[in-house]
Amino acid sequence: MRARSTSDGRAHTWLVGHPLRALTDESAIALHGLPGVTQDLAEIHLSQVDTGRARRTQHFRCHPPVPATTVTRIDGLQVVNAPVAVALVARRGSLRTAVMAADALLRRDHDRAALDAALSAYGGRPGTLVMALATPESESPGESWSRLVFHQIGIEQPRQQVVISDAHGNFLARVDFLIDDPPTVIEFDGMSKYEGANGAKALAAENRREDGLRELRYAVVRLTWADLGTPQRVRDALRRHGAA
């Protein structure tokens, strides 16, 4: 999931040459190249810098002002820095996007302290949750969303990126999530790897891997985008294996 760039004609028209305006929220997430919930970004989010008031037009949503100290410049456009963008989305936008973007920032080796400070200052109560969930160990937006769903259904966060060896000590798999008791592997499956010319080979390899895990008495639960959109389905799938 990735939002498209907001560097279109409207954003340039409104922002270039106007030092008192900056992109914020989902528009800033997109300009920073961070993942988020797919959207057409028909509405551009911005704020005046240091002064101004909130207002809304057909294509623009002007939020309350942001401090100049939070503003940077990308491709000639003023935009709030990435940690502040994440925090603002957490507070008044999509929690999914905030967690996805926070994880992506940490995977880029972004300063954790700066992210936490922004979430604390600008994220409100949702920012506290994003702070607790954010981790560089989530290697895809689907894994980030999975952790949010695990929180929503009330289970302890599983371990991530766990290496499992076979009975002879040989590498078998590196799994997205692992619940130790009962031993349950949870894999997010975006399905795209099964498409194209190599899709059949990928599916066969995945089936062999899964067979090996089951031989070691691991239950295997696969989650798709549709499952994450209905947390009760995730809870039910884990309950079938005694893991929720």
Q: What pLDDT is attached to residue 20?
A: 80
Q: For helices 112-122 and 82-92, give the axis angle rounded to 10 degrees.
A: 40
Average pLDDT score, the chain: 89
pTM of the predicted model, to two decimals? 0.89
Neighbours of 182 (CB within 10 A): 12
Q: 21-23 and 184-188: which strand pairing?
A: unpaired
Going by pLDDT thresholds of 50, 70 and 90, the confidence category of residue 90 is very high
Mean pLDDT of 133-148: 97
Higher pLDDT, 90 or 194: 90
Q: Residue 108 in 3-state DSSP?
A: coil
64 by Cβ neighbours in 10 Å (0-12 / 13-18 / 19+) ranks as: exposed
95 CB-contact burial (10 Å; exposed 0-12 / middle 13-18 / buried 19+): buried
Tell me the mean pLDDT in the region 133-158: 97
Phi, psi of 122, rounded to the nearest 5 degrees: -120, -10
Residue 205: strand, helix, or coil: helix
**CA angle centred on 99, ends 136 and 142, rounded to 5°:** 75
Contacts of 230 (CB under 8 A, 6+ apart): none
DSSP string, 155-200: -PPPEEEEEEE-TTS-EEEEEEEEETTTTEEEEE--SGGGSSTTHH
Burial of residue 191 (CB within 10 Å: 0-12, 13-18, 19+) is exposed
DSSP helix/strand/coil, 24 = coil
Q: pLDDT for 187-208, tens place per residue?
A: 999 755 656 556 667 667 788 8
User: Domain boundaries in the chain?
Assistant: 9-135, 147-239
CB atoms within 10 A of CB 92: 16
